Structure 1
Amino acid sequence: MKELYPKKGRVILHVDMNSFFASVEMAYDPSLKDKPLAIAGDEEARKGIVVTCSYEARKYGVKTTMPLWEAKKLCPHLIIKRPNFERYRNASMALFEILRRYSELVEPVSIDEGYIDITECYELGSPIEIANDIQQSLLNQLDLPCSIGIAPNKFLAKMASDMKKPLGITVLRKRDIAEVIWPLPTVEMHGIGNKTGEKLATLHIHSIGDLAKASDFVLKAHLGIRGLQLKERANGIDTRHVDPDAAEENKSVGNSVTLPKDISNQSKLLEILESLSESVSTRLKKKGYVTKNISITIRYYNRKTISRGKKIINPIVESKDIYQAAKSLFLNNWKGDPVRLLGITGQDLINEDHAYEQLDLFSYEKAAQKEPLYKAIDKIKSKYGKSILQKGSDLQKK
Structure 2
Amino acid sequence: MERAIVHMDLDAFFVSCERLNNSKFNGIPLIVGGGDRGVVASCSYEARKFGVRSAMPIRMALRLCPDAKVVKGDYELYSNLSHLVTEVIQEKVPLMEKASIDEFYLDLSGMDQFFGCYKWTQEIAAAVTKETGLPISFALSANKTVAKIGTGEAKPVGKLEIKDLDIKSFLNPLSVKKIPMVGDKTFQLLSRIGIRTIKTLSEVPVLVLQQMIGTNGKELWKKANGIDENPVVPFSERKSISSEHTFSVDTIDVENIKALITGMVEELAFKLRSEKWLASVVLIKIRYSNFDTETKQLKIAYTSADHTLTRVALELFKKLYTRRMRLRLIGVKFTGLVHGNHQMNLFEDTEELMNLYQTMDKIKNRFGENAVGKALGYKYDISV
Q: Give the TM-score normalised by structure 1.
A: 0.62
- Given the alignment, which residue of 345, 362, 379 partners 1:362? 345
Contact 1:160 1:170 in 2 (8 A): yes
2:15 corresponds to 1:22: yes
Contact 2:3 2:143 in 1 (8 A): yes
Match of 1:192, SS? coil
> Which residue matches 2:336?
none
Contact 2:32 2:43 in 1 (8 A): yes
Distance change (3 Å), C-alpha of 1:372 and 1:108: closer
How far is the alpha carbon of 1:233 from its aligned partner? 0.9
Deviations 1:239-267 (A, max 9, x none): 1111215776xx99xxxxxxxxxxxxxxx
Deviations 1:54-105 (A, max 9, x none): 1222233332233323333443432221000011011111111111122130
Distance change (3 Å), C-alpha of 1:359 and 1:231: same
Q: State the one-letter code of the partner of 1:141.
A: E
Match of 2:345, SS? helix
> Which residue matches 2:231?
241
Q: State the one-letter code of the partner of 1:311.
A: A
How far is the alpha carbon of 1:371 from its aligned partner? 8.8
How far is the alpha carbon of 1:238 from its aligned partner? 0.8
Match of 1:195, SS? helix
2:30 corresponds to 1:37: yes
How far is the alpha carbon of 1:52 from its aligned partner? 0.8
Contact 1:19 1:52 in 2 (8 A): yes
> Which residue matches 1:167?
157
Deviations 1:131-169 (A, max 9, x none): 221221121111100110100111111111111211100
Distance change (3 Å), C-alpha of 1:296 and 1:234: farther
Match of 1:311, SS? helix
Match of 1:163, SS? helix
> Which residue matches 2:269?
311
Q: State the one-letter code of the partner of 2:18.
A: E
Q: State the one-letter code of the partner of 2:216.
A: R
2:76 corresponds to 1:86: yes
How far is the alpha carbon of 1:130 from its aligned partner? 1.6
Distance 1:369 1:316 in 2: 19
Match of 2:42, SS? strand
Distance 1:246 1:233 in 2: 26
> Which residue matches 2:43?
53
Contact 2:15 2:30 in 1 (8 A): yes
Contact 1:36 1:77 in 2 (8 A): yes
Q: How many residues align?
A: 284
Question: Identity, % of aligned pairs?
Answer: 29
Distance change (3 Å), C-alpha of 1:185 and 1:314: farther
Distance change (3 Å), C-alpha of 1:315 and 1:187: farther
> Which residue matches 1:9?
2
Match of 1:363, SS? coil
> Any gaps of 5 or more consecutive residues in structure 2?
249-259, 276-338, 357-384
Alignment of 1:1-398 (within 5 A): 8-42=1-35, 46-122=36-112, 125-245=115-235, 309-312=267-270, 358-363=341-346, 368-369=351-352
Match of 1:162, SS? helix
Distance change (3 Å), C-alpha of 1:172 and 1:364: farther
Distance 2:235 2:11 in 1: 25
Distance change (3 Å), C-alpha of 1:177 and 1:369: farther
Q: State the one-letter code of the partner of 1:362.
A: N
> Which residue matches 1:322?
none
Contact 2:38 2:349 in 1 (8 A): no
Which piece of structure 1 moves more, 214-223 or 118-127?
118-127
Contact 2:33 2:347 in 1 (8 A): no
> Any gaps of 5 or more consecutive residues in structure 1?
1-7, 253-292, 301-305, 318-353, 374-398
Distance 1:228 1:118 in 2: 27
Distance change (3 Å), C-alpha of 1:184 and 1:116: same
Q: State the one-letter code of the partner of 1:312.
A: F
Deviations 1:8-54 (A, max 9, x none): 22111100110000001111222322222110102xxx323221111
Contact 1:131 1:169 in 2 (8 A): no
Distance 1:310 1:137 in 2: 37
Distance change (3 Å), C-alpha of 1:181 and 1:36: same
Distance 2:190 2:62 in 1: 35
Deviations 1:169-201 (A, max 9, x none): 011123223322122221122221111112223
Contact 2:33 2:72 in 1 (8 A): yes
Distance 2:16 2:65 in 1: 19
Match of 2:231, SS? coil
Higher relative contact order (CA 8 A, sep 6+): 2
Distance 1:93 1:365 in 2: 24
Match of 2:104, SS? strand
Contact 1:10 1:153 in 2 (8 A): yes
Deviations 1:329-363 (A, max 9, x none): xxxxxxxxxxxxxxxxxxxxxxxxx9xx9324333
Q: Give the TM-score normalised by structure 2.
A: 0.64
